[in-house]
Structure formats: structure tokens, C-alpha cells
Amino acid sequence: MARWPNENVMVVESRLLDELGRFHGFCADVDRYLSVLLDPRNIRFIPRDQAEEDPTYKQLIPYCVLRSGNLVFRYRRGRQQGERRLHNLESIGIGGHISVEDRNLFNLGTVPYTDAMLRELAEEVEVETTYRQRIVGLINDDTTEVGQVHLGIVHLFELDQPQVQPRESGLKEAGFVPLSVLRLHRHRLETWSQFCLDALFPVGGRSAAYPGD
């Protein structure tokens, strides 16, 4: 029986990642990859049941990290969330699949990807403060079953206040925690969140989000 009988999600062919240079972990070379991966000519919408089992495709997943000063939004993935392989892991990334309902946004020559990302974010949480956001990198992990069929697009949200409320019941124990706590319990985080923690908030190192600093 199909797990997602009526859901079609956005994918690109994995060969594109090979042609651009397949990487493991966090990659800050945003322009090089997204200029190709978000080209409307390379985007397809296929049944999610197929996409979750076929590594010849990569599902593009907005992965939004919400930061306010020294605090980062964290939650534990409950059973209500669709990806059972991630249940009970902690995460600092908010986001989800871009579905066929967003197809009309992806017209040839114009890709309002940000609109689709914000719609996904709004389904998960309510951000109750002003913020600035930008894409800071991509994440890939082909060492796990989940990672083999997903590619993350990392958005860093700089919030003026730590005011975010979860909207989805699958976001358990959600709230802002200090970076020091995240680092102490890094092993509890899903792999993508570990990549983001290390790249964006290194101890005494240069952040991938601020390469000029």
C-alpha cells in the first residue's frame, strides 16, 4: 500500500549532482549548484512513494535554521511527521517537501523558489518576529537511506526576537536553546542538523554563513 498515495514532490535527477560535483556534508557553493538544480528545465514532480525509494532522484528540501542571537530553534521529530526514519531525532532544520501544488510557481524562466520555501515553513511554525533570511549552503549525505534520496537547501533565518510557535504536532519539545547546549548534545541531532551546527556555528572557527569574517 502506498504511504503517500496522493502526493507528488519536486525532484531533480541525481546525475546533475554528479555533474556539478557530488559532495558529502555541508557545501557553501550555493550559486554553482542552485543555478542548475533550480532551473525549471531540470525540475520534475513525481509520486513521493517513488521518490523515497529511488536514489536516481534527489528531492530538494528547504531546510530552515532559525537563529536569534546565541539561541537556535530546536525540536524533536515526533511520530506524526511523515519520515519515520527520522522519528525521535532532534533537529534544527524546519522545512519539507515542495509538492505538486507549487508546480505553477515554477514557470520556465522564473523560479520563485522562495515562495514555495516560505509556504512550507509556514505549515510547520509561526514566526512572530521580524527577520532576515538567505540561502547559505546545501547539505548532502549519501551514507543513509534518507540522505540518498534528499538534498537540503539551507536557509539561515536571523530573527530579531526568539519568538516562534510550532504549528505541527510532530514538532515535539520545540523551542530555542543556547548554542552551547546544542554542541553538548550534538549526538542527538539528525545528520543534516549536525552538518549545519558544525558549518554555521563553529567554535572559534569561521562560519560558512559569514565567509568574509
> CA separation (Å) from 204 to 66, 75, 198, 200?
21, 25, 11, 11
**Where does the pLDDT of residue 103 fall: very low under 50, low under 70, confident under 90, or very high at 90 and above?**
low
Interatomic CA distance for residues 12 and 10, integer angstroms: 7
pLDDT for the residue 108: 38
Interatomic CA distance for residues 29 and 150, integer angstroms: 18
pLDDT for the residue 2: 64
pLDDT for the residue 48: 92
Task: Provide mean pLDDT across the span 110-125.
Answer: 81
**Partners of 176 in the β-ladder:** 73
Give me the percent of the chain exceeding a pLDDT of 90.
67
CB 77 within 8 A of CB 192: no
| Closest to 178 measured CA to CA, from 105, 71, 91, 53 | 71
| Amino acid at position 86, single letter | L
pLDDT one-digit tens code per residue, 147-185: 999 999 999 999 999 999 999 888 999 999 999 999 999
- 90 φ, ψ (degrees, to nearest 5): -90, 155
Q: Which residues contact 29 (CB under 8 A, 6 or more apart)?
A: 138
**Partners of 135 in the β-ladder:** 155
Interatomic CA distance for residues 180 and 193, integer angstroms: 15
pLDDT one-digit tens code per residue, 33-75: 999 999 989 999 999 999 999 999 999 999 999 999 999 999 9
3-state SS, 97-116, equals CCEHHHHHHCECCECCHHHH
- 16 φ, ψ (degrees, to nearest 5): -65, -40
Task: Provide mean pLDDT across the span 119-137.
Answer: 95
The reported pTM is 0.89
Domains of the chain: 8-200 (3.90.79.10)
Helices (H), the chain: 14-20, 30-37, 48-51, 113-124, 179-184, 191-200
pLDDT for the residue 208: 79
**Residues 120, 124, 129, 134: is their CA dihedral positive or negative?**
negative
Interatomic CA distance for residues 11 and 58, integer angstroms: 5
